[in-house]
Amino acid sequence: MALKRTSSPIAISTTSQLTADPAAGQFVSKAVDLQLNPLDNEVFVVTALKIDFEDGMPIPFIAAPGAFKLNQKLSISTTAQTSYSGISASNVLGASGLSYYLLADTVNNFFLYEMQEDNAMDTPPADQEYIGIIATNDFFVNYACSDTLAVQTLNANIRVYGYRAKADASTYAALVQSEVLSS
């Protein structure tokens, strides 16, 4: 690929919030501007991702006692999403998730009996040059949670590592077309 590195390593940090409200939907997608210069065929080469969920176990909305599974999921994609997609989608660079398994009794006492975390790659293997290339001006943070959560705000912190590069004209055109068509 005809890319010429034009910057030192860069770390871009952002926070994503999701107001869990079953009546309002449980998905949000947020654009993060990279301030790329398309006139110079500038792209952003992603070398690593870090996703940290900030909150503990979310509060469930439980109508009856029983066993429940609650989820928080977050992905980083090169294009906007209308619903949550994980790493099976070609435009998703990485994803993380938390699953909470709990028991609720008849007086709404909750007992957490397992928590499972699936992480994006914190540090890629040393022989991997990059995990993705963003050719358009934004990347997107996509956050979703279970529809059994009570109204509350959930938070996650995101850091995207990479560098700016300049692509030759044909490579840039192919990258933009591929990114746009993958949405």
Domain boundary assignment for the chain: 3-181
How does pLDDT run along the chain (183 residues), one tens digit per residue?
A: 689 999 999 999 999 888 878 777 789 899 999 999 999 999 999 998 999 988 777 777 776 777 778 888 999 999 999 889 988 898 999 999 888 888 877 666 777 676 777 776 655 566 778 889 999 999 999 998 888 777 888 899 999 999 999 999 999 999 999 888 876
Comparing CA positions, the residue from 7, 12, 17, 8 lying closest to residue 138 is 12
- Look up the pTM and report it: 0.85
Neighbouring residues of 6: CB distance < 8 A, sequence distance ≥ 6:
42, 163, 164, 165, 166
Give the E-state strand segments of 39-121 in sequence order.
42-53, 66-77, 92-104, 110-118
Beta bridge partners of 16: 156
Give CA 107 to chain center in angstroms: 36
pLDDT at 164: 96
pLDDT at 141: 94
pLDDT at 124: 59
In this structure, what token pair is assigned to residue 183? 């949405």
Q: What CATH number has the domain spanning 3-181?
A: 2.60.120
